[in-house]
Chains A and B, each alone.
Chain A
Amino acid sequence: MSNDDGILNAGLEGVPHSVLTAPLEELVKWARVRSCMPATFGLACCAIEMMATGGPHYDLARLGMETFRASPRQADLMIVAGRVSQKMAPVLRQIYDQMVEPKWVISMGVCASSGGMFNNYAIVQGVDQVVPVDVYAPGCPPGPETLLHAILTLHDKIRTGELMRRPGEGAGLVIEQRDGQVDTPVTLGRRGDTPTSGLIGVERSAS
């Protein structure tokens, strides 16, 4: 334990790992996995499949996700279902900012993930330029089982990941938080370590 990272300076993030905190961490992760409430954020045709996943045939409630929350403040998972236009991007970011930590993002469908076949001026080419994405679900649209696969992959990520730090491989952009939750700018990407190379179309400055 170093004093720089102590609980007084870094908050809960500074709590060192120990025998005592390990079971608590497991418990917290267990609870997070089993009550991952998604926000209602359907943008296009993918939302139809998202609704089908919530319906009785695929039944998201089996995974403890129950209903889609109408308010982002009650949600901790944003399923970006559909293409994000340039005009929608600030709204998307605002909804993301309004969600409470811890929060995760699933980019559902190719339009949200990379723009898909809409490679034009109107569509954001990948929602990870706006928010950090945890899991990408491919397909146009992804079927309910693909979305379930993405959600279960996210559950694995929550279960095996760090409690406080969430490495997300985003586009590496620096974005100011709009609501003043954090006064330091948020970098979309891995915090602290070197940016991963070889990502498509993303030029990174070696800083």
Chain B
Amino acid sequence: MGYLRGFAVTFRQIFQRPVTTPYLIGKGPKAPKPERLHGRHVLNRYEDGMEKCIGCELCAGVCPARCIYVRGADNPPTDPVSPGERYGYVYEINYLRCIHCDLCVEACPTEAITETKLFEFSFTSRADAIYTKDELLVDEAGMPKHLPWEDWRPGEEEFTSGWVRATAPAGDASYEGRVGWSGELGFGVRAPEGDQESRDASGSAGRAS
């Protein structure tokens, strides 16, 4: 009769809550994401609407997958696009090469490129996978563009900007808890992430939304 105990184990599980994340496109909640997840990129703007990208191509240089293509151009003196001398005239990321390592975000001197938490997207054609500057750049309100093959949920834009960089430039621990980035459109200057001890104490365990 020993086998009945095995059935009993199975039977007990019937009354337990399922662990499944009921995710479908546009339906069902997503599983909670780690606070520092690397998703699709955005190109940010300053609070006055100017683009942060200065076309220096450091992101393209550091990219291990060679998925970024940047071409800079001189700012027109009458109607500058970015506060610097140059701006990103062409900016393309091939998402069929990008490995989301975030080295471009680390390399960017102006925090123009950051990564969102959006990771639910797929393409039916190779051409869709190459994001141009129009698709990457945030809109007038500082919100990322929602493309038809991406599954954005309300409130996900909150995790879009330079704020997702946990500490300060280059991840130097001595910058922990200090604001090391400039204000940006739609979000302004945000409070930095707390230091590790306070995070451990509050038990937030690095989970966002």
Contact = CB atoms under 8 A, between A and B. Distances in A.
Contacts of B25: 149, 152-153
Of B66, B96, B100, B121, the most chain A CB neighbours within 10 A belong to B96
Interface residues of B, number: 34
Main secondary structure of the interface of A (DSSP, over half): loop
Contact of B19 (A56, A116, A198): A56
Interface stretch (B52-60, B126-134, B156-164): B126-134
B126 A200 contact: yes
Contact of A146 (B18, B20, B121, B124): B121
Contact of A145 (B65, B98, B119, B129): B119
A108 to B, nearest CB: 9
B31 interface: yes
B21 A58 contact: yes
Contacts of B119: 139, 142-143, 145-146
A145 B96 contact: no
B160 to A, nearest CB: 18
Interface string B144-187: 00000101000000000000000000000000000000000000
Nearest to A137: B122
A96 interface: no
Interface in A106-154: 110, 113-117, 119, 126, 128, 134-140, 142-146, 148-150, 152-153
Nearest to A107: B96
A58 B125 contact: no
A114 B56 CA distance: 26
Interface string B9-32: 000000000111111110000110
Best-surrounded residue of B64, B97, B127 (most CB of chain A within 10 A): B97
Contacts of A56: 18-20
Contacts of B65: 110, 116-117, 119
Interface residues of A, number: 37
Given A57-B19, A114-B94, A199 B122 contact: no
Nearest to B65: A117
30 contacts: A56-B20, A57-B31, A110-B98, A110-B99, A113-B126, A114-B97, A116-B65, A116-B97, A116-B99, A117-B65, A126-B96, A135-B122, A135-B124, A136-B122, A136-B124, A138-B96, A138-B98, A139-B100, A139-B119, A140-B98, A140-B100, A142-B122, A145-B23, A145-B31, A145-B119, A149-B121, A152-B24, A153-B25, A169-B124, A200-B130
Given A110-B65, A135-B124, A145-B21, 8 more contacts: A110-B97, A116-B97, A135-B122, A138-B96, A142-B119, A145-B31, A146-B120, A148-B120
Chain A to chain B: the 4 pairs with minimum beta-carbon distance, closest first = A140-B99, A150-B122, A117-B65, A114-B96
Interface of B: 18-25, 30-31, 64-66, 94-101, 119-127, 129-130, 149, 151
